[in-house]
Amino acid sequence: MNIFTDIQSLRQHILNWKQQGESIAFVPTMGNLHAGHLQLIEHGKHIADRVVVSIFVNPMQFNEANDFKNYPRTFDDDRAKLEAIAVDCIFAPLEKDLYPVNQQLTTKVSVPVLGEILEGESRPGHFTGVTTVVCKLFNIVQPDYACFGEKDFQQLMLIRHMVAELNMPVQIEAVATCREADGLAMSSRNNRLNQSQRAIAPEIYQVLSSICEQIKQGNKDFSQLEHEAVATLNNSGFVADYVAIRSVADLGNPAADEVELVVLAAACLGDIRLIDNMPLSLKA
């Protein structure tokens, strides 16, 4: 397994593969890898000849300095995990190479409206940071495929929009959310939960499952369902940010006859923000 920090060396390495006619799957990460990341990589291995994994804790997508500072950085563990599953190459760029000028002055990619609701509303600038760094990484790696988890549903939608609207020649592959046995969606942030927070955390999954079940039984009072879910989370010890029943097409409020829905939630335990979602198809 090769590890590159330098952009030019990585490009040359990938070019050699491409000249042999090999296809490339790319899995961008911020490290602190868990089983969810490994599933993205497994998917990449199925669809392409080579898999490149990037590890970069992207400062531009953190809207709180402390969140960036506390984000777990576990490069040695990550490298061992990637070696064990025979990933072809790690790209771990340096901040000064991705943002050679002041971050504020960097050309940015943003997706209006979709990037400003839900997570975008609560974390201003977050998605511009995500789409900017993903665009930069796509330009560097030039993959045929890029794999993203459905756990970050809004992020996945934004990336699909960016790729379509900027005519990027990469196929986006979505991989289902990986969950712990009690339903908690896997996330690098879970490592920061203390024992009592960890015990409460699966309540997000319970709440999402319960909403989906009630909608399937015919309950169409979405706003009541959302309010009840927020109250349930708050009573369990979370500070809920939102529980939202939206249309899968654009994450807008669904029409009464909408059949492709997604229920999204964000809630904090202490200073740890957890997000999750559950798609729901009502198609006959």
Please give the Cα distance from 140 to 84 (Å, whole number): 25
User: Quick check: 187 binds ligand PAF (CB under 6 A)?
Assistant: no
Instruction: Candidates 10, 25, 30, 263: give the one binding ligand PAF (CB under 6 A).
Output: 30
Q: Is 227 one of the annotated active-site residues of the chain?
A: no
**Of 188 and 232, CB closest to ligand PAF:** 188
Contacts of 65 (CB under 8 A, 6+ apart): none
Please give the Cα distance from 144 to 62 (Å, whole number): 28
* Smallest separation (angstroms) from ligand PAF to the CB of 262: 17
**Of 172 and 268, CB closest to ligand PAF:** 172
**Of 133 and 170, CB closest to ligand PAF:** 133
Q: Is 194 exposed, middle or buried (0-12, 13-18, 19+ CB in 10 A)?
A: exposed
Q: Which of residues 55-74 bind ligand PAF (CB under 6 A)?
A: 58, 61
Binding-residue total with ligand PAF (CB under 6 A): 10
Best CA proximity match to 85, nearest among 37, 124, 133: 37
* Smallest separation (angstroms) from ligand PAF to the CB of 163: 13
Please give the Cα distance from 231 to 236 (Å, whole number): 9
Q: Which of residues 120-179 bind ligand PAF (CB under 6 A)?
A: 130, 133-134, 152, 155
* C-alpha distances in Å from residue 274, one per residue of 26, 86, 152, 188: 25, 30, 11, 10
* Smallest separation (angstroms) from ligand PAF to the CB of 125: 13
**Of 39 and 61, CB closest to ligand PAF:** 61
Stretch that binds ligand PAF, among 26-34, 79-87, 88-96, 261-269 (CB under 6 A): 26-34
* Smallest separation (angstroms) from ligand PAF to the CB of 256: 33
Residues forming beta bridges with residue 268, ordered by sequence position: 239, 273
Q: Which of residues 79-118 bind ligand PAF (CB under 6 A)?
A: none
Best CA proximity match to 18, nearest among 53, 48, 54: 48
Burial 238-256, CB ≥16 within 10 A → b, else e? bebbbbbbbebeebeebee
Residues 4/53, Cβ–Cβ less than 8 Å: no
**Of 29 and 236, CB closest to ligand PAF:** 29
Stretch that binds ligand PAF, among 8-16, 27-35, 240-248, 272-280 (CB under 6 A): 27-35
Residue 44 structure tokens: 């990449």
Catalytic residue among 13, 37, 46, 126: 37
Residues forming the site for ligand PAF (CB under 6 A): 28-30, 58, 61, 130, 133-134, 152, 155
Q: Residues with catalytic annotation?
A: 37
